[in-house]
Amino acid sequence: MDFLTIIQVLDSTVRLATPLLLACLAGLYSERAGIFDIGLEGKMLMAAFFSAAIAATSGSVWLGLLAGIVSSLLLSGLHGLASITFRGNQLISGVAINFLAAGMTVLIAQDWFQQGGRTPSLIGGGRFAPIELPFAEALSGVPILGPIYSELISGHPILVYLAFLAVPATWWILYRTRFGLRLRAVGENPAAVDTAGVSVVGLRYAAVAICGVLCGIAGAYLATALQAGFVKDMTAGRGFIALAALIFAKWRPWHAMWACLLFGFLQAIALRYQNIDVGGFVIPVQAMDALPYILTVVILAGFVGKAIPPRAGGEPYVKER
């Protein structure tokens, strides 16, 4: 494998890891506040559909992004209502959101566009275009550093840069601000937070709202940047992979980024190399495609070490009278 091929694989890794990273950070905020959310998949899927649908009809990718965020926020509000206000089972609420999104997106897409549950292909202003960073073309001929800057760092849609900037921002919010301290505390000991006069319900709804925004951006990226429109079940389990990455990272932002890059790398390898010949034995393409999902199962089975979630995670808070 030559150097340019390595750069191209890493470039694909960054692109494929972006929706995983956004969804992983979304789950990080929610679960740090004590709200388990396995509905990341459904919120991404709903956002992917509405972002593509609005971008296709309006011709504006920014309106599409806004529509994706709003649709994801509505599902987040539904999850918050069920699990925070009515103290329902958070896992069941997340599963219901996944089923709701899987059915509604295809139903509405067929009603609006009559294209078999998909949206029209996005062109022009309906898609996020790659951004060429300063001096990328001029430096492209420089050995080693040139391809790294012009091919790997430059040339991504704006949402890719936003996703990776969200990692240090999340770290700073969680560990260097009063809001972050309270958010982490409400996931560990909500009674202590309540005793201090801080609203547990308010903090958890704030975390769920942040989760909805990030899932909305992740879904919009899938439909308007990584691909050019919405197709049925286009998230393809990315929400669950993001949850596995979150567990792998033990609910820490920087570790989450590296975990998502690992999953993205496996997806990039599977897409680029089909039917690999290893010593005369040909690895079928199906096995390569299954690599990210196999790693998900391995992580969730606990083979990467014990991951301890926030102590109050998954438990509704009942204020003592």
Tell me the C-alpha distance between 21 and 246, whole Å.
9
First to last CA, the chain: 66
pLDDT in tens, the chain (321 residues): 678 888 888 999 999 999 999 999 999 999 999 999 999 999 999 999 999 999 999 999 999 999 999 999 999 999 999 999 999 899 999 999 999 999 999 999 999 999 888 999 998 899 999 999 887 887 777 888 888 888 889 999 999 999 999 999 999 999 999 999 999 999 999 999 988 889 999 999 999 999 999 999 999 999 999 999 999 999 988 999 999 899 888 899 999 999 999 889 988 888 877 666 666 666 676 777 777 778 777 776 766 667 778 888 888 887 765
| Model pLDDT, residue 41 | 96
| Model pLDDT, residue 280 | 62
- Residues in Cβ contact with 86 at an 8 Å cutoff, skipping those fewer than 6 apart: none
- Residues in Cβ contact with 104 at an 8 Å cutoff, skipping those fewer than 6 apart: 46
| Model pLDDT, residue 276 | 64
SS3 sequence, 44-60? Answer: HHHHHHHHHHHHHHHCC
| Model pLDDT, residue 6 | 87
For residue 90, give the nearest of 320, 315, 266, 311 by alpha carbon: 315
- Residues in Cβ contact with 119 at an 8 Å cutoff, skipping those fewer than 6 apart: 49, 52, 53, 56, 109, 112, 113, 223, 229, 230
Tell me the C-alpha distance between 51 and 72, whole Å.
10
Domain ranges of the chain: 21-234
| Model pLDDT, residue 278 | 61
DSSP state of 309: -
Tell me the C-alpha distance between 299 and 167, whole Å.
22
| Model pLDDT, residue 221 | 97
| Model pLDDT, residue 5 | 84
Contact 315, 204 (CB under 8 A): no
Residue 71 exposure: Cα atoms within 13 Å on the Cβ side: 30
| Model pLDDT, residue 173 | 96
DSSP string computed for 132-193: PPTTHHHHTTSTTHHHIIIIIISSB-HHHHHHHHHHHHHHHHHHHSHHHHHHHHHHH-HHHH
User: What phi, psi does 196 have (nearest 5°)?
Assistant: -80, 0
Number of residues that this document lists for the chain: 321
Q: What's the pTM?
A: 0.93
How far does Cα 290 stand from its chain's mean position?
A: 19
Tell me the C-alpha distance between 124 and 255, whole Å.
36
| Model pLDDT, residue 317 | 81
For residue 129, give the nearest of 179, 55, 214, 195 by alpha carbon: 55
Compute CA distances 112 → 50, 217, 220, whole Å: 11, 23, 18
